Chain A
Amino acid sequence: MADKKKKNVPPEAQEYQAFQQQREVKRPIFKNCVKAFFVGGFICFIGQIISTFYMYFFHFTEQTAGNPTVATLIFITMLLTGFGVYDRIGQFAGAGSAVPVTGFGNAVIASAIEHRTEGFILGVGMNMLKLAGPVIVYGVFAAFVVALIKTILIIWGGL
């Protein structure tokens, strides 16, 4: 892919891109990974507390506590997004706050807030899943492929 791209780029531009890259500030990948690890871990820790809370006080089991836990986390995300805090956490934590379910919630809620000015149908309704849409599409598709593989293995593999 990179080679294919390079073939179309004139040598002058290639030279400039190398020149530019030397001066470009790189993403601090290691630092970002550490930050993402700890913030992501902290969000999961909060999730675990909520989950334990539901099991301890409301007689949920480990299997059924998942749904109310996710709903609670998304509710908290909604407040943080609405008050303009979540995007700041996101800039600090990167993948740490994007990968957990709170990141998915933020993507939906931020789009919904953003497009309120275009009305409820054409604005909020049409754009709410603009960022989260790919997650749903490829989440469902990936689940389908995995299920297909599993079925094939059970039928022919004798699992």
Chain B
Amino acid sequence: MLRGHQTWVFANKPVIISTGTVGGPFEANGKIAKDFDLLHEDIWLKQESFEKAQQTLMEEACQIALKKSPIEKENVQFFISGDLINQITPTNFAAKTLNIPFFGLFNACATSMESLALSAMIVNNKGANYILSGTSSHNASAERQFRYPTEYGGQKPPTAQWTVTGAGCSLIAQQGKGPVITSATIGRIVDMGITDPFNMGGAMAPAAVNTIENHFKDLNIEPSYYDLIVTGDLGHIGREVSYDLLLERGLNIQEDQYVDCGLIIYREGQPVLAGASGSACSAVVTYGHLLNRMKNGELKRILVVATGALHSPLSVQQNDPIPCIAHAVAIESGSDV
């Protein structure tokens, strides 16, 4: 139910009964490779185009999530998902393959938590028994749409980030075994006039700060309530900027309590500059790595704040600033885990 200005508290505690995560070759070399359900050697995934490869990633993530659960596809009421590509076509085609009633979303890299929050809201209010929610991104398809051709030899600044090739999907149910979703804070657009699309971490940091601040204000809790506060894809610069901003606003967050998915996924030495990005970044790290740690009992409560930069190549060329958003979802380990 609505608490405060922009936060939902889920009284019926929807459960994430299963997840599916798929990654590409670059992720297979990363730090959390063993947390993926499926890793591909080839960025084409034997498909004709990068967009089709991305569609395959999404389909596989959904199929894995379904396979790991006792639920049949026919019992799932809705598929709530989105991605970064124009008119979210990879997701649309994946929804066609899945043949489940479909909500298509776009909040750039914040789509992962946007879809999870909406799924939890619908399940909590008994609008559905089971919902598949997730998102995908592909390095090459995002590069070609937002930046340059993949083989173009342009030099990227140290603030640039690397789009994750992968897909993460979760199956949300009213009851069952698994981590529960307790609350969600829906963010507003924050635009601080940053126009450089090669510095998305710096652009998105204020949006993350705004959402985190409002989450604690609405719920009237302290940051120490969570074991981890995880941002989506801020990278080195965005993480540092947002952490300093949070401290400045008087939130008492410990240094090791505040982590970023974009800094978890790859290992040192991979040429990712400021860190990872892409809508799959927060999805695969949350549904794979973080929920595994929760199952192992290392984590009890986490707040995942997925951040999105809502620009397009056109808006950047027309010198518009980058509008940014962040959505936060609180996940807690269930009683019977």
Contacts and interface: CB of A to CB of B under 8 A. Distances in A.
Which of A13, A82, A93, A103 has the most chain B CB atoms closer than 10 A to its own CB? A13
Given A24-B199, A25-B158, A98 B193 contact: no
A111 B152 contact: yes
A115 B141 CA distance: 11
B241 A114 contact: no
Interface size band for B: 20 to 34
A9 B193 contact: yes
Interface in B167-195: 191-194
Interface string A2-29: 0000000110111011011001111110
B255 interface: no
Contacts of A27: 157-158
Contacts of A84: 151
Interface string B180-216: 0000000000011110000100100110000000000
Nearest to A112: B149
The listed residue with most A CB atoms (<10 A of its CB), out of B154, B155, B236, B271, is B155
B153 A106 contact: yes
B240 interface: yes
Nearest to A16: B192
A97 interface: yes
Given A17-B192, A17-B194, A20-B194, A25 B153 contact: no
A107 interface: yes
Contacts of A82: 151
B274 interface: yes
Given A16-B206, A91-B271, A110-B153, A117 B49 contact: yes
A74 interface: no
B157 A131 contact: no
A23 B244 contact: yes
B252 interface: no
Given A20-B202, A24-B199, A24-B237, A90 B194 contact: no
B254 interface: no
B100 interface: no
Contacts of B237: 20, 23-25
B152 A110 contact: yes
Which one of B48, B153, B158, B194 has the greatest number of beta carbons of chain A within 10 Å?
B153
Interface in A57-107: 81-82, 84, 86-91, 93-95, 97-98, 103, 106-107
Contacts of B157: 27
A131 B149 contact: yes
A19 to B, nearest CB: 7
Nearest to B141: A117
A12 B209 CA distance: 14
B148 A131 contact: yes
30 contacts: A10-B193, A13-B193, A14-B193, A16-B192, A17-B192, A17-B194, A20-B202, A20-B205, A23-B237, A23-B241, A25-B236, A26-B158, A27-B157, A28-B158, A84-B151, A87-B152, A89-B153, A90-B153, A90-B155, A94-B155, A97-B153, A98-B154, A106-B151, A107-B152, A110-B150, A110-B151, A111-B152, A113-B151, A114-B152, A117-B48
Given A82-B151, A94-B155, 11 more contacts: A17-B192, A19-B244, A23-B240, A24-B159, A24-B199, A25-B237, A81-B151, A91-B156, A98-B155, A113-B149, A114-B151
Interface of A: 9-10, 12-14, 16-17, 19-20, 23-28, 32, 81-82, 84, 86-91, 93-95, 97-98, 103, 106-107, 109-111, 113-115, 117, 131
